[in-house]
Amino acid sequence: MLNLFLLIGSINMAIAVGLGAFGAHGLQPKLTEKMFNIYQTGVQYHMIHAVAIILVAIISDRLGDPTILFWAGWSFVLGVIFFSGSLYVLSISGVKILGAITPIGGVLFIVGWILLAFGALKSFS
């Protein structure tokens, strides 16, 4: 699990940095301020949760239940896809219905953090 989530998290961070730079230099002049802010929110949450995926990799061998951490990691990965992905596409395309997908990603982020907390709690026993 360590290698898998380290790989996924690192690739996600590289993608997030690239998308952030692309947004700042390529998209900002083309998007409205509102759409650019939506795009930036996607990048911000993408970066935070790329770090969370790397965190899962680093602590996976230190906490008691690898199953909980496995699902925490995948919750973060899917959260990036649904949350940040929908915001990227929404901001560029203007298709507002994509905003209905974003909360699914937010819930997945929350689930990931709760699972990580449960993993920590189980390590106390």
* pLDDT at residue 64 in the model: 64
* pLDDT at residue 125 in the model: 67
Q: CA nearest 86: which of 76, 68, 99?
A: 99
* pLDDT at residue 60 in the model: 87
Q: CA nearest 99: which of 111, 114, 88?
A: 88
Can you give the pTM of this predicted structure? 0.94
Q: What is the pLDDT of residues 33-61, one digit of tens each?
A: 999 999 999 999 999 999 999 999 999 88
Q: How many helices (H) and strands (E) does the chain have?
A: 5, 0
Measured distance CA(119)–CA(70) in Å, rounded: 10
Tally of CB atoms within 10 A around 96: 8
Residue where the block lists tokens 């900002």: 28
Three-point CA angle 115, 116, 121, nearest 5°: 95
Show me where the domains of the chain are located.
1-124
Q: What is the pLDDT of residues 68-109, one digit of tens each?
A: 999 999 999 999 999 999 999 999 999 999 899 999 999 999
Q: What is the pLDDT of residues 14-30, one digit of tens each?
A: 999 999 999 999 999 99
